[in-house]
Structure 1
Amino acid sequence: MKIFEALRKDHEKQRLLLKILAETSGDTAARREYFQELKDQLESHAVAEERHFYSHMLENDETVELTRHGIAEHHEIDELIEKLDETEMSSPAWLHYLKSLQEKVEHHLADEEQEFFQVAGKVLNERQKEKLADGYREEMAQELTHA
């Protein structure tokens, strides 16, 4: 498996969790459970992605700006998660923040998949793509175990 496939696989999980959460209402056990799973996924993904993909992309002139942009978006996503954590789940504001999070995450994933991956694919060789995927998947599993 190459790094792009590993990242896309997790992107799909994130999209699905966001879609499910957007369809929940009130302060329910299901909403709490899905939100915790989403937080774990997003936080683990950001750590693993920054360590095993972004860090390598910062070393290349062609990918440094896209990498910085991706890291900045990770911080914006963290801030939205924090807002959600501070807001009552039964409040209409919670769903408003969730929709903002959904838009931000989906924008970020589209940026990566439609632009960043293409540029990164040109600067990485096949062995690097596989090695990065192995490191990413190991880190992701480790992060999720500690979540």
Structure 2
Amino acid sequence: MKIFEAIRKDHEKQRLLMKILVETSGDTPSRREYFAELKQQLKDHAEAEEKFFYRPLIKEDRTIEQSRHGMHEHHQIDELVEQLDETEMSSPAWLHHMKKLQDKVLHHLAEEEREVFQQAGIVLTEDEKTKLAKSYEAEMA
């Protein structure tokens, strides 16, 4: 497995969790459970991705700006999660904030998959792609 497939696998989990969450309502056990899972997934994914994807890419001229941008978006996503944490789940504002988070995350994932992966595919060797995937998956486990 290459780093791209490992990351994309987690992207699919995030997409699914967000889809489920925007269809929930009120302060229910299922909303709490799915939100806790999404928060953990986003946190773990960002840490592993920065360590085993962006860190090697930031060293290359071709991918330095995209790497910085991706890490900046991780910070923006963290702020949106924090805003959700501070909002009552029973409030209509919670769903509004959740949809903002979903929009931001979907934008980030699409940008990564369509643009960053292509440049990384040029910059990284086949061996690096495989080693980074193994390290990324071990970190996520």
Q: TM-score band, normalised by the shorter chain?
A: over 0.9
User: Are 2:17 and 1:20 aligned?
Assistant: no
- Equivalence for 1:120: 120
**Aligned-partner Cα distance in 2 for 1:123–1:84:** 37
How big is each residue's C-alpha offset from its partner over 1:99-120, in whole Å with a ceiling of 9 and x where there is no partner?
Answer: 0000000000000000000000
Question: Secondary structure, in 3 states, of the residue corresponding to 2:62?
Answer: coil
**Aligned-partner Cα distance in 1 for 2:105–2:99:** 10
**Aligned-partner Cα distance in 2 for 1:140–1:60:** 25
- Equivalence for 1:38: 38
**Aligned-partner Cα distance in 1 for 2:124–2:51:** 16
Question: Secondary structure, in 3 states, of the residue corresponding to 1:62?
Answer: helix
State the TM-score, normalizing by the size of structure 2: 0.99
How big is each residue's C-alpha offset from its partner over 1:37-96, in whole Å with a ceiling of 9 and x where there is no partner?
Answer: 000100000000001111000110000000000000000000000000000000011000
User: Are 2:85 and 1:65 aligned?
Assistant: no
- Equivalence for 2:54: 54
Unaligned runs of 5+ in 2: none
Query: How far 1:15 moved relative to its partner?
Result: 0.2
Unaligned runs of 5+ in 1: 142-147
